[in-house]
Structure 1
Amino acid sequence: MRQGFKQLILGFLFVLLKIQIIVDMLPDFIGYIFIYNGIKQIASLSNQSYDKLKVLCIALVIISVPNFFLNDQMIQQIEWLKHYPSLLALIKIVLVYYLFILLLGVAKLLPTDEALFRTNRMFSWYMVIMLSTSLTQPFFMNISMNISIPLMIIVIIASFIIELSFLIYLRNIQKCFPKDNVFEKFV
């Protein structure tokens, strides 16, 4: 179980960070492969189905390959790629939604309700912030620059903070499970 969470954390770090030196040094598609492996391990150890997560991860691996070669300026210059970052972000939100459903089942394996409470709280905050971020971005181009620039800065900071909080949450949940993957203690 701990190894699965480690894979998730590493995968989401790859997706979050973008170090562009000719190509992306931390490619998103590698991150989604890590995420898939983590989900597979967690779901199999907790006896849960992960069919939707599997499909979403495979789709994100394939869809995010161009992101390895293209930087943000190139994406904005090519007309048919302008909505590509938004599409990736929305599919990632759907992936995280189903991941939280899996994590709610995993949190129920723990002896206390604290992990379940933290999972519900993180799920609520993550979805509210990320969905509001995705839904408000199209409106920024229709309002004046004096208003849109401060709002964009707030949205970017809120998104970054919630992504970091999500990684910290995953690490804290990982620490709740024993290193030897023995669940008899918890059931």
Structure 2
Amino acid sequence: MRDGFKQLIIGYLFVLIKIHIVVDILPDFIGYIFIYNGIKKIATTSAQSYEKLKILSAIIAIFSVPNFFLSDQMIQQSIWWGYYVIALSLLKVILVYFLFDILRVVARLLPSDEALLSTKRMYTWYMTIILGSLFFQSILMNFPIFMIQSVSIFIVILVLIIEISFLVYLRNMQKRFPDNNLFNRYA
């Protein structure tokens, strides 16, 4: 179980961090492969079905390959690449939605209800901020020019905070499970 969370953390770090020198040094598709492996280990250990996530992880890994070559300048020059980035963001949100379904079941395996409560809280905050940011990005062009910059900065800061919080949440979930995967929920 701990190794599955470790794979998720590494995968989301690959997806979150973008260092672009000719190509992306930490490619997203490698991150999604790590995420898939982490989901597989967590779902297998907790005896859950992860068919939707398996298919979605494969689709998003393939769909994110062009992102390996795209720089921010290329995205800004073509409106079609802008749609690609939005579609990739939506696929990531769907992936996280299904991931939280598995994480809720995994949190119920722990002896205290604290993990389940933190999972529900993280789910609510993550989805609210990410979906809200996608919504505001779509209507941002209708704002007055002086507001666009400040709203964009605010959105970027909020998304960065929630993404880092999600990584911290995954790390805390990893710490809650014993090393040997032998645990029982106390009734």
TM-score by length of 1: 0.97
Deviation per residue, 1:48-76 (Å, 9 max, x gap): 11111111110110000000011111122
Q: Counterparts of 1:169 and 1:80 in 2: how far apart (Å)?
A: 34
In structure 2, give the amino acid aligned to 1:75: I
Question: Structure 1, residues 101-129: CA drift from partner, whole Å, max 9, x if none?
Answer: 10000000000000000000000000000
CA RMSD of aligned residues (A): 0.9
Once residues 76 and 113 of structure 2 are traced to their aligned partners in structure 1, the CA distance between those partners, rounded to angstroms, is: 46
2:57 corresponds in structure 1 to 57
Q: How does 1:23-42 map to 2 (within 5 A)?
A: 23-42=23-42
Give 3-state SS (helix, strand or coil) of 1:83's partner: helix
Write the mapping of 1:81-96 to structure 2, written as runs, cut at 5 A. Answer: 81-96=81-96
Query: Runs in 1 of length 4+ with deviation above 6 angstroms?
Result: none
TM-score relative to the length of structure 2: 0.97
Residue 79 of structure 1: how far off its partner (Å) = 3.7
Determine whether 1:186 maps to 2:185. yes
Tell me what 2:126 maps to: 126
Query: What is the distance in 1 between the residues matched to 2:120 and 2:158?
Result: 19
Tell me, in whole angstroms, the C-alpha distance in 1 between the residues paired with 2:94 and 2:7.
Answer: 19
- Name the SS for the 2:58 alignment partner: helix
Shift of 1:138: 1.4
Give the aligned partner of residue 157 of structure 2.
157
Name structure 2 gaps, 5 residues minimum. Answer: none
Match of 2:7 in 1: 7
What's the CA shift for 1:143?
1.4
Q: Distance in 2 between matches of 1:82 and 1:118?
A: 34
Amino acid at match of 1:135: F
* Matched residue, 1:140: 140
Distance 2:145 2:20 in 1: 28
Superposed displacement of residue 5, structure 1: 0.1
Letter in 1 for 2:122: M
Alignment partner of 1:141: what SS?
helix
The change in CA–CA distance for 1:169 and 1:87 in structure 2 (over 3 A counts) is: same
Paired residue type of 1:159: V
**How much does 1:82 deviate?**
2.2
| Matching residue's letter, 2:114 | E
3-state SS in 1 of match to 2:166: helix
Q: Alpha-carbon deviation of 1:80?
A: 2.5
